[in-house]
Structure 1
């Protein structure tokens, strides 16, 4: 392929823009904020599971406490009724004696229920503290996620701005170069990891960084200035200058 030497050198400007665009795309895919958000998502999921378990524990204790309170109220009401009947002193002595025995049993029952209720209330206090702690960690993790999302969005905005700037510079440059040269450049770029054109400096290809063999140097020296030369190793376009070392 033939191309004006000046057009070949301008191909390096196009390569510089494309390299920057590739770097920006790589930066977007590998933002540290993305990894941090993934870790936070896992943390939030685990915390939410922990919060549900802690809430269930509190709810279970509330239900048990409510049941005990109902039992205590029933015992207390029965005890009060017996006390009133005993205070009235009406009825056969045997029945009054039975009431006294039942009253003693009810007092013991009430004491046992109240002790159990107190123990459950202490357990609930501990369970509530656990739930409060989980909720506090959830709030902190959500706040951190919002902060990381803001940082991510700011960086992505900057990247998009730089991409628009570079793209706006690429279009007229590519349009001003020979179409067949750009087509070859784009084809090589797709198959070589984004780098299609590089300087030939000091007898070394700027693409694969390998020194040219003597035969390759002789071939390139013999090539016309407008001949588009390519590296035998990496097949990239080598742009010649006075520093090419031929």
Structure 2
């Protein structure tokens, strides 16, 4: 391929812009806020799972407490009815009186046992409520940290994106001034060689792979027409000759 020396030199300008874009992309992706947000989000997910579990437990305890209190109330009402019958004198048979008294005593014990259950459930519910309150506060705290880190990340990425947009516009202008076939070759090589498609030949050294050319390659480049597009035998990048090439 042949291309005017000025067009080949413009490849170096294009390469510099592409390097700057790659550096900006790397900085953008490497912002510490990304890892911070990821870590905090994992913590938030775990806390929310724990909060759901605690809320469910509190809800279950509430239903259990309501059921236990209803059982106590039913026993209390039945005992009250039996006591009323006993006090009214309507039961005259000694055996019936004995049975009624035994039932009242049994209901009293049953009521005591059920009240103990109510107390135990109330304690568990109170513990669950405290856990819900604690986890709710922790969720809010972590969410605030995420919001803060997100704000810092967005501010930083906005700056990078703005700078990248300006460089992209400049790149389009430079790329538009380079012949299509030369530009296509540059882009093809750049895609294969880690983002570097063209490199300066400086003091007989390829600035792309940092290797010095052997004497045969140097002589071939010396003998080549200034319009000839030469490539590095080591890395295949386009070698751009300048006054500093040492030829």
SS of match in other structure, 2:211: coil
Question: Where do residues 91-106 of structure 1 align in structure 2 (5 Å cutoff)?
Answer: 91-94=91-94, 95-106=96-107
CA-based RMSD:
2.3
Task: Report the equivalent of 2:70.
Answer: 70
Task: Report the equivalent of 2:89.
Answer: 89
Shift, 1:114, TM fit? 0.9
Unaligned ranges ≥5, structure 2: none
In 2, distance between residues paired with 1:63 and 1:229?
Answer: 83
TM-score between the two structures when normalised by the length of structure 2: 0.87
SS of match in other structure, 1:55: helix
String of CA shifts for 1:68-105, please: whole Å, max 9, x gaps.
Answer: 10111111112222333333334305233333222222
Task: Report the equivalent of 1:114.
Answer: 115
Task: Report the equivalent of 1:60.
Answer: 60
Task: Report the equivalent of 1:152.
Answer: 153
SS of match in other structure, 1:80: helix
TM-score between the two structures when normalised by the length of structure 1: 0.87
Shift, 1:231, TM fit? 0.7
Alignment of 1:233 onto 2:221? no
Alignment of 1:191 onto 2:172? no
Report which stretch shifted further, 87-96 or 204-213: 87-96
In 1, distance between residues paired with 2:154 and 2:74?
Answer: 62
SS of match in other structure, 1:8: helix
Alignment of 1:213 onto 2:211? no
- Count of residues in Structure 1 that have an aligned counterpart in Structure 2: 246
String of CA shifts for 1:46-88, please: whole Å, max 9, x gaps.
Answer: 3333223222222222222111101111111122223333333
Task: Report the equivalent of 2:144.
Answer: 143
Unaligned ranges ≥5, structure 1: none
SS of match in other structure, 2:233: coil
